[in-house]
Amino acid sequence: MKNSWPFAKRVKLLFIVSKTQLRLLLMPDTLPHLYALRAFSVASQCGSFSQAAAILNVTPGAVSRHIRTLESYFSCALFTRNGPKVSLTDAGSMLAVNLQQGFSQLESACRQLRSHHQQLRLKAPSTLTMRWLLDVMVDFRQQHATPQVEISSIWMDVDSVDFAREPFDCAILLGNGQFGPATHSIHLFDEWLVPICAPAMLTAARENLAGCELIHPSRDRRDWRRWLAGSGLHPELSLAGGKVFDTLEQGMLAAMGGHGVAIGDLCLCQSALARQLLVQPFSPAVKTGESYYLVWPVGSTRQNNIDKLTQFLRQNTPRCIN
């Protein structure tokens, strides 16, 4: 028996049925939203929804909703809630490990695809950036049309970089030269610590340092401790009290304002010392054993540009004049 439907109607009906079948076929196998997976991955590393929210720049409620969506999708609990703290279940741990590997591969693929061979993304400590790197990179741009160097000045209590997770091609870090087996590094200059203060405080600091307010550029007061041990001066000086900051830059600014005697990096203080914004009440500079290095990943696709930046930075390192 011949089909009495016109051919055009049969084709249209087939097309409608095919779209419906395709939609039904895709729905059960649709992956969870990438935002939800990312929120879970970050929360699994932080052990806190609020900390994950801060990193992702969303609200804790948004992170919580993403997690509930995933738990509904997988039909199992991914976290055990204990007030503000959360811990992974066995299922959550398995998912976290696989997602971390997956996100690392995604980020690497995306960086390679969208990377521009004439650009370098450089991570650097905040004080070094403000006191040396910004000025020296002006000269670099005048002498070199490429690469274009994008500087991210980031506070780091302990200088570090994870090239697999962070969007940088290279970094300037303070350390002992050991930044991991998957990295190369080139020495730039050493760290030397010296006491610094405003000119108006010079006499008071020299005559009675114990009576002056001490400025600590780190919470553990390690810089004053290093200078006292290395210089052999003022062995009875108490490091209790004083003003505590997060960076050498903050300590330097406080010292310039006459708020006490700080410890500074001699190389990074040169401009302020030359302009008499700061003075040294005591001459010995103490080498800490740490230095600034340019660091980059093994097998970088930007090696030619990194070589160009390395050569320039090594030719323009700050001169430490004690």
**Residue 190 bridge partners (DSSP):** 291
What is the pLDDT confidence band of residue 320, given thresholds at 50, 70 and 90? confident
CB 160 within 8 A of CB 133: no
* CA R_g for the chain: 28
Which amino acid appears at position 307 of this protein? Answer: D
Does the pLDDT of residue 137 top 70, yes or no? Answer: yes
Does the pLDDT of residue 2 top 90, yes or no? Answer: no
What is the pLDDT confidence band of residue 19, given thresholds at 50, 70 and 90? very low
Alpha-carbon span 45 to 88, nearest angstrom: 10
Average pLDDT over residues 287-314: 95
Alpha-carbon span 55 to 47, nearest angstrom: 13
CATH number of 34-114: 1.10.10.10
What is the pLDDT confidence band of residue 13, given thresholds at 50, 70 and 90? very low
Domain definitions of the chain by residue range: 34-114, 119-322
Neighbours of 174 (CB within 10 A): 18
The gap from C-alpha 105 to its chain's centroid, in whole angstroms, comes to 20
Q: Residue 260's closest CA among 281, 274, 238, 243?
A: 243
Q: Residue 232's closest CA among 283, 278, 198, 159?
A: 283
pLDDT of residue 104: 81
Which strands sit side by side in the sheet containing 261-265, from one edge to the other? 148-154, 119-125, 170-175, 286-297, 183-196, 261-265, 214-216, 243-244
Encode pLDDT of 35-52 as tens digits.
899 999 999 998 889 889
Does the pLDDT of residue 322 top 50, yes or no? Answer: yes
CB 70 within 8 A of CB 36: yes
Using a 10 angstrom Cβ sphere, with 0-12 exposed, 13-18 middle and 19 or more buried, the burial of residue 52 is: buried
Encode pLDDT of 120-134 as tens digits.
999 999 999 999 999
Please, what's the largest Cα pairwise distance for the chain? 115
CATH number of 119-322: 3.40.190.290
CB 171 within 8 A of CB 292: no
Average pLDDT over residues 104-132: 80
Mean pLDDT value across the chain: 87
Q: What proportion of the chain, given as a percentage, has pLDDT over 70?
A: 88
Residue 279 has, within 13 A of its CA and on its CB side, a CA count of: 12
pLDDT of residue 111: 64
Alpha-carbon span 125 to 223, nearest angstrom: 16
90-94 long-range contacts, Cβ below 8 Å, gap at least 24? 92/40, 92/44, 93/44
What pairing do the DSSP bridges indicate for beta strands 214-216 and 261-265? parallel
Structure tokens at 242: 């004083």
pLDDT of residue 211: 95
Evaluate the omega torsion of the peptide bond into residue 147 and state whether it is cis, within 30 degrees of 0. yes
CB 292 within 8 A of CB 206: no
Which amino acid appears at position 46 of this protein? Answer: C
- For the CA atoms of 226, 229, 234, 235, the dihedral, rounded to the nearest 10 degrees, stands at 130
Query: Which residues touch 225 (CB under 8 Å, ≥6 apart)?
Result: 239
Helix, strand, or coil (residue 180): coil
What pairing do the DSSP bridges indicate for beta strands 170-175 and 286-297? antiparallel
